[in-house]
Amino acid sequence: MEQYVLPNSGHSSNPEASKLGMWLFLFTELLLFGGLFLVYMVYRALNPEAFLIASYELNITMGTINTVVLLTSSLTIAMSISALQKGKKGLALYLMLATIAFSLIFMVIKFFEWNAKIHHGLFPGMEHYQSLPHGESLFFFLYFFMTGLHALHVIIGAIFIGIVVVKVGTDEVTGDQGTLLENSGLYWHLVDIIWIYLFPLFYLIH
Amino acid sequence: MSTATDSGYVNFFQAKKGLASWIFTLDHKRIGLLYFYSVLAFFLVGVLLGFLMRLELIAPGETIMKATQYNQVFTLHGVIMIFLFIIPVIPAIFGNFFLPIMIGTDDVAFPKLNLLSWWLYILGALFALSTLVVGEGPADTGWTFYAPYSVKTGTNVTLAVLAAFILGFSSILTGLNFIVTIHRLRFPGMKWFDMPLFMWGLYATSWIQLLATPVIGITLLMIIAERTFGIGLFDPAIGGDPILYQHLFWIYSHPAVYIMVLPAMGIVSEIIPTFTNRTIFGYKAIAISSLAIAFVGYFVWGHHMFTSGMSGPARIIFSLLTFLVAIPSAIKVFNWVATLYKGSIEIKPPLLYAMAFIFQFSIGGLTGLVNGALAANVHVHDTYFVVGHFHYVMFGGTGFAFFGAMHYWFPKIWGKMYNIKRANIAFAILFAGFNLLYFPMLIVGIMGMPRRYYDYLPEFTTMNVISTVGSWVLIIGLIMMLWNLINGYRKGKIAGNNPWGGVTLEWQTKSPPPLPNFLKKPELPEDGPYTFK
Amino acid sequence: MKAEEIQHITSFREHFGTWLALIILTVMTVTISVFGADLLSLTVVTALAIATTKAIVVGYYFMHLKYESRIYLLMVGVVMLLFIVFLVLTIFDYVFR
């Protein structure tokens, strides 16, 4: 019997399928943070004053710098996709490495911010944290939980892009076969979007 | 055990041998069967726990276990039956096995993710079972993990919650895979409304898995954080709001009910046309009502919280929205019945299960309206009426659809036929046992017996005894059914490629299917998926 | 694959323009927050409105929604709608409690 081959196989690479899969994954990420935004909304509605007071502990300058850093990293990863599609492999690699560098800058700034808060005893479970009014301690819990989860995503995103850098280097990912790079870009933009909301909700309550 | 060896081709059982070829397989059919064996094993554990609970309730007072043990048993029964059985049962077993075949492709879009999903399922199951042996024993909170008790109890809540979290991931991966497969891998020429209705059920389900599960994931993490740091998120003693937990929990868990029932409705929509030999009545209405149920199902979670202290206007809104779900559900039921009307009906085991589904799901659905009506709910809330309602929908509905699917696709999966007569007898016993077990719960619930207690007032004794006896009948039916299927697998006659005269694509290929699913080009019916000649 | 699925290469100019718009919006939201305290309760609304504008810009240009098939826009729309309804129904409980 001659072998019949299906025209649509699940085992062959399918860029459209991977892209759709990535988008669906992003939706789950959105809803994951969504649960936390919901908790934030409820407790901010219940404790408007306490959230305002607690937010003065955060440093707007640092937050703004980090926002600009992350937006710029989104620019570089988006440009790297165009660069690779235009066949400029070297430029694409530089732009991807720049994205990873920006993510490191973001994490360093984040580290100093967290460090300052922990120094003031504001991490959940610490002595000063326990003595805070309930609304304020909720603010700091949500701050650490949400920015922490976001930072985790930044790290994962940077590693993802790092893997793509290697694959572009070995020509496994090219302009025509660029889905992996595009997907890492999509993921990175989502991380950016989450931060776009975290920034005003925590830093800009004033 | 050798399976049917039809000369001239290699089926997917024969394609490779050895344990590794199963547990590391990328073939959707084998992954479906891996799920089949593991889900069935946990189902039997859950049945055993349910049996023990019924035994405890055969008489008032302490019968075979103490209050705390009873709490742990019903929690474990709930966790196993919900997270390990009824959520994965139809999508992960029959969805995996038949989705690619029924849309005419050779696998799901991401076979590796599919395998990962099974492994996560096993990992989550190990976490759930480990609560039995570690520390203070299994959680005693009920499967809902309601705060503040779940924050305070010394039992293994953290482990149980982690198990649910991991199982959630498994469920998300399955859903993601199915959506992409349906979007991208349909056979050329198969349009959306050319898909069998089981596909529509799975498609709607997958979206719920994808969009609701992350919410429970993050909620469970918050429970762990609350237990670790004492934040005051949900525990009112330290300023938290327990109702917020309930909101977050039911934002997932109500849609999850539709994860459980929509694929079952898809199965019924497959079985009925095949055994009435006519096209399904109202194809588009059934297809779209699946999506409608999924969509509206997101907005009704508050009806679990009518007596928990939610605000009045919110309760009214949720009650109103709840009634909306009845519309698409009723559309389906009417369409199934209309398909039966004047069809040339062949009474075979799968059809019996499908009809039992319609009957029991209708009871479950109508009692659901009683629960959904705000005023009536205050009366029946937290009584056995709710337990009865839930089991009528989940076991009488989804469970029976699962049995129906087993009987419907058994000859396709294993290439052999079970004994039809014995299957009919087993069905009759199962059906009688089921109704004997759960109908008294509805009555005793209206009488006012509260749920989740190991004890009850003497006036409820008669009904509880009937119910417990019903559980024995049910188990006898279950054993007979499984024994008959196992016998069919061992010594059954060769079934042939299309024993029921079905017209969807899976009946065009061999039984059991070959590894690439189709050895020759599948023919799409011209006038939709249910064109009978 | 169909002809319309041939990839679209976004120009560096467009990327740069998108980035500039995002930076301007960031400057706006910080300025309003720090110096426009008299907007009172409106600050939350303006901050969220600007954040949403930024998110849409990122999605539409950086994430290529502009060039994708309509199905992606539909999906994003439905997901956002679901999430907003979650928030609205939940806050409905708290507002009237």
B239: phi > 0 → left, psi -120 to 50 → alpha, else beta; which? left
- Which contacts qualify for B403-406: CB closer than 8 Å, 24 or more apart? B403/B353, B403/B427, B403/B430, B403/B481, B404/B267, B404/B268, B404/B271, B404/B349, B404/B350, B404/B351, B404/B352, B404/B353, B404/B354, B404/B356, B404/B357, B405/B90, B405/B94, B405/B267, B405/B271, B405/B350, B406/B485
- Nearest CA to B528 out of B273, B330, B333 is that of B273
C-alpha angle with apex B51: B47 to B57, nearest 5 degrees? 145
Distance from CA of B454 to the nearest CA of C (A): 34
Burial of B248 (0-12, 13-18, 19+ CB in 10 A): buried
Task: Show residues of chain A in contact with C66, CB under 8 Å.
Answer: none
Q: What is the mean predicted confidence (pLDDT) over B64-90? A: 94
pLDDT band at A2 (very low <50, low <70, confident <90, very high): low
The pair of structure tokens assigned to B51 is 């049996």
The pair of structure tokens assigned to C7 is 């990839």
pLDDT over 90, % of chain A: 78
- pLDDT for position C37: 59
Measure CB to CB from residue A35 to each of B107, B219, B229 and give the nearest one. Answer: B219
On whether residue A7 sits in a domain, the answer given is no
Rounded to the nearest angstrom, the gap between the alpha carbon of residue B56 and the centroid of all alpha carbons in its chain is: 26
The CATH number of residue A62's host domain is 1.20.120.80
B/e letters for B378-405, b = 16+ CB within 10 Å, e = fewer, are eebbebbbbbbbbbbbbbbbbbbbbbbb
On whether residue A8 sits in a domain, the answer given is no
Measure CB to CB from residue C9 to each of A85, A186, A205 and give the nearest one. Answer: A85
What is d(CA B174, CA B199) in angstroms, rounded to the nearest whole number? 14
CB contact under 8 A, A32 and B217: yes
Domain boundaries, chain C: 7-66, 69-97
pLDDT of B4 over the 70 cut: no
The pair of structure tokens assigned to B65 is 């276990």
Distance from CA of C26 to the nearest CA of A (A): 8
In this structure, are strands B493-494 and B416-417 parallel, antiparallel, or unpaired?
Answer: antiparallel
> Count of CB contacts below 8 A, B vs C?
35
Using a CB–CB cutoff of 8 Å, tell me whether B251 touches chain C.
Answer: yes
Using a CB–CB cutoff of 8 Å, tell me whether B233 touches chain A.
Answer: yes
Hey, which chains touch A, using 3+ CB pairs under 8 Å?
Answer: B, C
- Nearest CA to B183 out of A182, C3, A17, A12 is that of A17
Distance from CA of C27 to the nearest CA of B (A): 32
Tell me the per-residue pLDDT of C2-45, one tens digit each, with 9 for 90 and over: 334 456 788 999 999 999 999 999 999 998 888 765 555 677 88
Supply φ then ψ for residue A86, to 5 degrees: -80, -5
What ipTM is given for this predicted complex?
Answer: 0.93
> Count of CB contacts below 8 A, A vs C?
109
Q: What is the DSSP string of B483-524?
A: HHHHHHHHHPEE--S-TT---SGGGGS-SSPBTTS-SSPPPP
Closest B-chain CA to C80 = B211
Task: Show residues of chain B in contact with C89, CB under 8 Å.
Answer: 299, 302, 314, 317-318
- Nearest CA to C29 out of C57, C59, C49 is that of C49
Query: Residue A42: which domain range?
Result: 29-203
Could you tell me if B105 and B37 are in contact, meaning their C-beta atoms sit under 8 angstroms apart? no
Could you tell me if B309 and B236 are in contact, meaning their C-beta atoms sit under 8 angstroms apart? no
Hey, which chains touch B, using 3+ CB pairs under 8 Å?
Answer: A, C
For residue B282, the cross-strand partners are: none
What is d(CA B360, CA B404) in angstroms, rounded to the nearest whole number? 14
- pLDDT for position A4: 82
Number of H helices, E strands in chain C: 3, 0
Residues 6+ apart with CB under 8 A from B462: none
Mean per-residue pLDDT over chain B, rounded? 93
- Nearest CA to B263 out of B102, B120, B373, B375 is that of B102
- Can you give B306-347 as a three-state secondary structure string? CCCCCCHHHHHHHHHHHHHHHHHHHHHHHHHHHHHCCCCCCC
- pLDDT for position B7: 56
Residues 6+ apart with CB under 8 A from C51: A196, A197, A199, A200, C29
Among A22-26, B483-487, C64-68, C85-89, the least confident range = C64-68
pLDDT of B232 over the 70 cut: yes
- Nearest CA to B423 out of B399, B435, B406 is that of B406
CB contact under 8 A, B299 and C79: no
C38, HSE (Cβ side, Cα atoms, 13 Å): 0
Residue linked to tokens 């196989």: A9
Using a CB–CB cutoff of 8 Å, tell me whether A189 touches chain C.
Answer: yes
Task: Show residues of chain A in contact with C51, CB under 8 Å.
Answer: 196-197, 199-200
End-to-end CA distance of chain C: 55
Tell me the per-residue pLDDT of A156-193, one tens digit each, with 9 for 90 and over: 999 999 999 999 999 999 888 889 999 999 999 999 99
What is d(CA B180, CA B20) in angstroms, rounded to the nearest whole number? 27
Supply φ then ψ for residue B155, to 5 degrees: -75, 175
Could you tell me if A159 and A172 are in contact, meaning their C-beta atoms sit under 8 angstroms apart? no
pLDDT of A115 over the 60 cut: yes
On whether residue A40 sits in a domain, the answer given is yes
Among A190-204, B87-101, B132-146, B384-398, the least confident range = B132-146
Using a CB–CB cutoff of 8 Å, tell me whether B179 touches chain A.
Answer: yes
Helix axes C12-35, C42-57, angle to 10 degrees: 170
Using a CB–CB cutoff of 8 Å, tell me whether A68 touches chain C.
Answer: yes
Q: How many CB atoms lie within 10 A of CB A127?
A: 7
Query: Which domains does chain B possess?
Result: 28-508 (1.20.210.10)
Task: Show residues of chain C in contact with B243, CB under 8 Å.
Answer: 93
Helix axes A134-169, A48-55, angle to 10 degrees: 60
CB contact under 8 A, A75 and C86: no
Could you tell me if B385 and B445 are in contact, meaning their C-beta atoms sit under 8 angstroms apart? yes
Measure CB to CB from residue C90 to each of B247, B309, B313 and give the nearest one. Answer: B247
Task: Show residues of chain A in contact with B182, CB under 8 Å.
Answer: none
DSSP SS3 for B452: coil
pLDDT of B490 over the 50 cut: yes
CB contact under 8 A, B313 and C94: no
Task: Show residues of chain C in contact with A193, CB under 8 Å.
Answer: 54-55, 58-59
What is d(CA A46, CA B17) in angstroms, rounded to the nearest whole number? 61
CB contact under 8 A, A9 and B106: yes
Supply φ then ψ for residue B464, to 5 degrees: -70, -35
CB contact under 8 A, C79 and A85: no
CB contact under 8 A, B314 and C92: yes
Measure CB to CB from residue C58 to each of A16, A74, A86 and give the nearest one. Answer: A74
- Can you give chain A as a three-state secondary structure string? CCCCCCCCCCCCCCHHHHHHHHHHHHHHHHHHHHHHHHHHHHHHHHCHHHHHHHHCCCCHHHHHHHHHHHHHHHHHHHHHHHHHHCCCHHHHHHHHHHHHHHHHHHHHHHHHHHHHHHHCCCCCCCHHHHHCCHHHHHHHHHHHHHHHHHHHHHHHHHHHHHHHHHHHHCCCCCCCCCHHHHHHHHHHHHHHHHHHHHHHHHHCCC
Q: What is the largest CA-CA distance in chain A?
A: 79
Burial of C2 (0-12, 13-18, 19+ CB in 10 A): exposed
Distance from CA of A7 to the nearest CA of C (A): 12
CB contact under 8 A, B211 and C95: no
What is d(CA A171, CA A159) in angstroms, rounded to the nearest whole number? 18
* Total tally of structural domains belonging to chain A: 1
Measure CB to CB from residue B519 to each of A1, A38, A145 and give the nearest one. Answer: A1
DSSP SS3 for B382: coil
- pLDDT for position C40: 57
Hey, which chains touch C, using 3+ CB pairs under 8 Å?
Answer: A, B
Using a CB–CB cutoff of 8 Å, tell me whether C28 touches chain A.
Answer: no
Tell me the per-residue pLDDT of B386-441, one tens digit each, with 9 for 90 and over: 999 999 999 999 999 999 999 999 999 999 999 999 999 999 999 999 999 999 99
In eight-state DSSP terms, residue C5 is G
Task: Show residues of chain A in contact with B215, CB under 8 Å.
Answer: 31-32, 34-35
CB contact under 8 A, A134 and B239: yes
Task: Show residues of chain B in contact with C97, CB under 8 Å.
Answer: 309-311
Q: What is the DSSP string of B216-251?
A: HHHHHHHHHHHHHH---SS-GGGT--HHHHHHHHHH
- Nearest CA to B132 out of B179, B95, B80 is that of B80
Tell me the per-residue pLDDT of A121-145, one tens digit each, with 9 for 90 and over: 898 888 888 888 999 999 999 999 9
pLDDT band at B156 (very low <50, low <70, confident <90, very high): confident
CB contact under 8 A, A24 and B231: no
Distance from CA of A40 to the nearest CA of B (A): 11
CB contact under 8 A, C83 and A30: yes
